[in-house]
Amino acid sequence: MTAPTINKFINLLTKKILKTVSITLCLLIISGQTQAFSLQNVVDKAKALSEKGYSEPQSDLPDALKKLSFMDYQKINFNHDKTYWKQEKLPFRLEFYHQGMYFDKPVKINEIINDKVKEIRYSSDYFDTSAIGQAEAKASQLGFAGFKVQFPINNPQKMDDEIFSALGASYFRAIGKNQTYGLSARGLAIDTGLMTGEEFPHFTEFWIEKPKLKQKQLVIYALLDSPSVTGAYKITLQPNVDMVVDVEAKIFFRKKVEKLGIAPLTSMFLFGKNQPSDITNYRPELHDSNGLSILTADDKWIWRPLNNPEKLSFSLFTMDNPKGFGLIQRDKSFDNYQDLDDHYEKRPSAWIEPENNWGKGHVELIEIPTADETNDNIVSFWVPEKQYQAGDELAVKYKITYTLNEQNRYPNGVARVKETLYSLGDEKQVNLVRKLDGSYSYVIDFVGKNLAKLPANQSIKPAINISENGELVSSRLVYNPVYKGWRLILQFKVKSANKPTEIYVSLVTDDGKNQQLTETWNAQYPAQ
pLDDT digits (tens, 9 = 90+) for 92-145: 999 999 999 999 999 999 999 999 999 999 998 999 988 887 565 565 678 999
- CATH at 515: 2.60.40.10
Q: H or E segment at 18?
A: helix 3-31
Residue 457 maps to a domain: yes
Return the bridge partners of 128, or none: 77
- Grouping H, G, I as helix, E, B as strand and the rest as coil, residue 484 is coil
Give 342's contacts (C-beta < 8 A, 6+ positions apart). Answer: 180
pLDDT surpasses 70 at 60: yes
pLDDT surpasses 50 at 528: yes
- Domain residue limits at 353: 46-409
Query: Do 378 and 420 sit in the same domain of this protein?
Result: no
pLDDT surpasses 80 at 147: yes
Residue 23, pLDDT score: 43
pLDDT surpasses 70 at 469: yes
Report pLDDT digits (tens) over 429-458: 666 677 888 999 999 999 998 888 887 777
Query: Do 349 and 495 sit in the same domain of this protein?
Result: no
- CATH at 157: 2.70.98.10
Query: Do 400 and 265 sit in the same domain of this protein?
Result: yes
CA distance 264 to 38: 24
CA distance 269 to 344: 11
Helix residue spans in 67-211 (DSSP H): 70-73, 134-138
CA distance 408 to 412: 9
Looking at 354, 385, 409, the residue that finishes a domain is 409
Query: Do 449 and 382 sit in the same domain of this protein?
Result: no
Residues 243-258, mean pLDDT to the nearest whole number: 98
CA distance 156 to 96: 23
- DSSP code per residue over 143-164: -EEEEEEE--SS-TT-TT-EEE
Looking at 386, 409, 432, the residue that finishes a domain is 409
Query: Do 258 and 367 sit in the same domain of this protein?
Result: yes
Return the bridge partners of 222, or none: 206, 233
Query: Do 402 and 444 sit in the same domain of this protein?
Result: no
Residue 515 maps to a domain: yes
Report pLDDT digits (tens) over 492-520: 999 999 999 999 999 999 888 888 999 99
* Domains in the chain, number: 2
Residues 296-313, mean pLDDT to the nearest whole number: 96
Query: Do 488 and 370 sit in the same domain of this protein?
Result: no
CA distance 352 to 86: 32
- DSSP code per residue over 376-438: --EEEEEEESSPP-TT-EEEEEEEEEEES-GGGGS-TT-BEEEEEEEEEEEEE-TTS-EEEEE
Q: Is 441 exposed, middle or buried (0-12, 13-18, 19+ CB in 10 A)?
A: middle
- DSSP code per residue over 296-351: -TTS-EEEEE----SS-EEEEEEEES-SEEEEE-----GGGT--TTT-GGGPPEEE
**Backbone phi, psi, residue 406, to 5°:** -65, -20
Looking at 390, 409, 428, the residue that finishes a domain is 409
| Residue 67 contacts residue 124 (beta carbons within 8 Å) | no
Model confidence at 33, pLDDT cuts 50, 70, 90, reads: very low
Model confidence at 59, pLDDT cuts 50, 70, 90, reads: confident
Query: Do 101 and 241 sit in the same domain of this protein?
Result: yes
Query: Do 405 and 420 sit in the same domain of this protein?
Result: no
